Amino acid sequence: MKRHNTHNNRQPDKLQQIENMLQIPEAPSKEDIWNSLEEKIDAASEPVKQRRLYPTLRVWAVAAAITVLLGIGAVLRFTYVSVYCPPGETRQVILPDNSVVVLNSDSKLSYKKFWWPVSRELTLKGEAWFKVTKGKRFTVQSKQGSTTVLGTRFNIYARDDVYRVACISGRVQVSAQKTKKSIILTPAEEAAVTANGEIIFHKNIDLEPVVAWKNGVFIFTATPLTEVIKELERRYNVHIRTEADLNKSYTGSFPDSVGIEKALDLVCKPFGLKFARDNRGNITILN
């Protein structure tokens, strides 16, 4: 009976295992190496994604820009220049477009200097003579009415409830603030706006008395005496009290260079009125 040699049968299996463990792995080809390098280069060259600004930061940036623009607009739109001519003086004003305004005593005008190229508009309280440079619409606003022109010369009297406009050259439009009624004037025409907003029209007027103040002359034609006294107060910068009946009308002319006492003498004498001046300079008109 033959014996099987199991030891000899297992030996080849162990030798195969040892051989597999000692086997050297096959070296990569050149093509495999280049493909690997290209993949790494492509990965490194991919652009880095930019970070987005947070929405809140964008909102704040837009809000800041709008605030700056609104601030600049407010400066341009609401920065006023005011010119006041005190009693006893007349004053010439040159506007940004070279239009000329001569202010009578105790008169004030205001306008938006930086907004002037957009809108030629000013406000007037008192009396002024205008010589307007041709250009865009030119508007003078007062409590009782407004006057609009394109290029002309005119005179506006706007004191208390009295509003009168006289056209010297060109054409002007006069409008009542209360009723919005309006009228267009041509040279030697005048419009007066009443307290209730009605317009009284006069044509073929004498322009010399209208602009006489600008040349240093008083010219009154059937002017209420109370209005004459107020004009003397403004032009001479004095205060005049009255203890007499001034319900009269005065007609006369004289230069303002005569002084207040001579002026009062010329005004009071035709009515038999007198005046007195104390040591403080106060003046009182007496019967």
CATH number of the CATH domain containing 85? 2.60.120.1440
| Residue 87 pLDDT > 80 | yes
| pLDDT given at position 25 | 53
Phi, psi angles (nearest 5°) of residue 50: -75, 145
Residues paired with 107 in a beta bridge: 85
Look up the domain containing 185 and give its range: 79-209
Neighbour count for residue 217 (Cβ, 10 Å): 15
What's the DSSP call for residue 256? G
Neighbour count for residue 182 (Cβ, 10 Å): 16
| pLDDT band, residue 114 (cuts 50/70/90) | very high
Q: Is residue 229 part of a domain?
A: yes
Instruction: Tell me which of 155, 188, 209 is where a domain ends.
Output: 209
Burial class (CB in 10 A: 0-12, 13-18, 19+), 165: buried
Distance CA 256, CA 232 (A): 9
Q: Which of 23-27, 31-35, 185-189 is predicted least confidently?
A: 23-27
Q: Is residue 24 part of a domain?
A: no
Q: Which residues lie below 8 Å from residue 84, measured CB to CB, with a gap of 6+?
A: 107, 108
| Residue 75 pLDDT > 70 | no
What average pLDDT does the structure give for the chain?
A: 85
Name the domain count of the chain. Answer: 2
Q: Is residue 12 part of a domain?
A: no
